[in-house]
């Protein structure tokens, strides 16, 4: 096939030796199957910022640290340099997340290098050596759905124990190789401890998986692993091998609104009295 312009420099520099075909085109990037020496790999070519449908929402960037103080100041001022650095940080986030998660034992593609907005990584394949299908393109027996759901919940727990939440997990960014699910697409992964939306994102990730597999094993629709996982994480009791039940006792106590309003009114009166005392002392 004709070599895409963004891959030509890598071909010239010997980072890749041949471009076989385009594997997919998504909201973030286009992915190609390439040859590097004797190995087939993936080349993920990130789209330019103005051509991506998935925006760098502040919600996803919250809590991400920038080691270089000059870069951090420029990014906060949103200068042209700062915007360029912010774009670079966004793109590098996936490489850093893949390395971090692989070290934690999460099933993700192995990253090799990241050059000029192109990520070279492992090509995930099925038992026949073909590019692995996406979870969302498959149908499952009830037994297989329960098995895959359990495995993915385990991967989500491992990710959280490594300090990350995927943030955009769906059946279309999970591949299924010969050994089961492999999680992909992580440029928007968020810091679990530093992002105020992390809990909601994790619960959404878990709910997406529950709803998908619940089509094939309806009993999964009754589970609430997301709430259970986050509660254990907040308590400091979440571990990669934590035993989960998927059952959460929700508080069904009826709130006495009259009593609640009296408490609020008392608090307001106390604050008003405090401010009056401060004013008189001046």
Helix H, strand E, coil C: the string for the chain is CCCCCCCHHHHHCCCCCEEEEEEEECCCEEEEEEEECCEEEEEEEECCHHHCCCCCCHHHHCCCCCCCHHHHHHHHHCCHHHHHHHHHHHHHHHHHHHHHHHHCCCCCCCEEEEECCEEEEECCECCCCCECCEHHHCCCCHHHHHHHHHHHHHHHHHHHHCCEECCCCCHHHEEEECCEEEECCCCCCEECCCCCCHHHHHHHHHHHHHHHHCCCCHHHHHCCHHHHHHHHHHHCCCCCCCCCCCCCCCCCCCCCHHHHHHHHHHHHHHHHHHHHHHHHHC
Closest CA to 170 of 219, 210, 119, 199: 210
Return the number of other C-beta atoms located less than 10 Å from residue 74's C-beta. Answer: 19
Name the phi and psi angles at 195, rounded to 5: -115, 125
Which pLDDT belongs to residue 251?
A: 60
Name the phi and psi angles at 168, rounded to 5: -145, 35
Which pLDDT belongs to residue 222?
A: 96
CATH architecture of 8-235: Orthogonal Bundle (1.10)
Beta bridge partners of 131: 125
Which pLDDT belongs to residue 51?
A: 53
Which pLDDT belongs to residue 27?
A: 78
Which pLDDT belongs to residue 72?
A: 47
Q: Is the dihedral of CA 151, 214, 219, 251 positive or negative?
A: positive
What distance in Å separates the CA atoms of residue 42 and residue 34, rounded to the nearest whole number? 6
Which pLDDT belongs to residue 75?
A: 45
Task: Give the burial class of 183: count Cβ atoms within 10 A of its Cβ; 0-12 exposed, 13-18 middle, 19 or more buried.
Answer: buried
What are the structural domain ranges in the chain?
8-235
What distance in Å separates the CA atoms of residue 156 and residue 229, rounded to the nearest whole number? 9
Tens-level pLDDT at each residue, the chain (282 residues): 899 999 999 999 999 999 999 999 887 889 999 999 999 999 999 887 655 554 445 555 665 554 555 544 544 555 555 555 667 677 788 899 999 999 999 999 999 999 988 999 999 999 999 999 999 999 999 999 999 999 999 999 999 999 999 999 999 999 999 999 999 999 889 999 999 999 999 999 999 999 999 999 999 999 999 999 999 999 999 999 999 999 987 666 666 677 767 777 777 787 777 777 767 766
Beta bridge partners of 115: 118
pTM reported for the whole predicted model: 0.79
């Amino acid at each position: 096939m004709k070599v895409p312009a963004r891959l030509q420099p890598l071909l010239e520099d010997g980072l890749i030796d041949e471009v076989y075909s385009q594997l997919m085109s998504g909201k973030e990037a286009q992915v190609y199957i390439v040859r590097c020496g004797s190995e087939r790999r993936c080349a993920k070519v990130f789209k330019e910022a103005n051509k991506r449908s998935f925006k760098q929402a502040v919600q996803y960037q919250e809590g991400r640290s920038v080691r270089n103080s000059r870069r951090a100041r420029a990014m906060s001022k949103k200068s042209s340099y700062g915007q360029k650095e912010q774009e670079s940080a966004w793109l590098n986030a996936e490489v850093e997340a893949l390395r971090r998660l692989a070290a934690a034992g999460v099933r993700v593609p192995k990253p090799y290098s990241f050059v000029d907005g192109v990520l070279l990584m492992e090509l995930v394949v099925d038992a026949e050596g073909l590019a692995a299908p996406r979870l969302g393109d498959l149908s499952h027996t009830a037994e297989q759905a329960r098995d895959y759901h359990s495995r993915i919940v385990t991967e989500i727990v491992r990710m959280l124990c490594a300090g990350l939440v995927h943030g955009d997990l769906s059946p279309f960014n999970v591949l299924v190789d010969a050994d089961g699910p492999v999680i992909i697409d992580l440029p928007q992964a968020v810091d679990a401890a530093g992002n105020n939306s992390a809990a909601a994102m994790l619960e959404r990730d878990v709910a997406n998986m529950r709803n998908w597999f619940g089509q094939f094993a309806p009993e999964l629709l009754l589970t609430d692993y997301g709430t259970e996982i986050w509660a254990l994480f907040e308590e400091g009791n979440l571990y990669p091998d934590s035993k989960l039940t998927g059952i959460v006792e929700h508080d069904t106590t009826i709130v006495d609104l009259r009593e609640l309003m009296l408490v609020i009114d008392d608090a307001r009166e106390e604050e008003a009295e405090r401010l009056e005392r401060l004013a008189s002392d001046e």
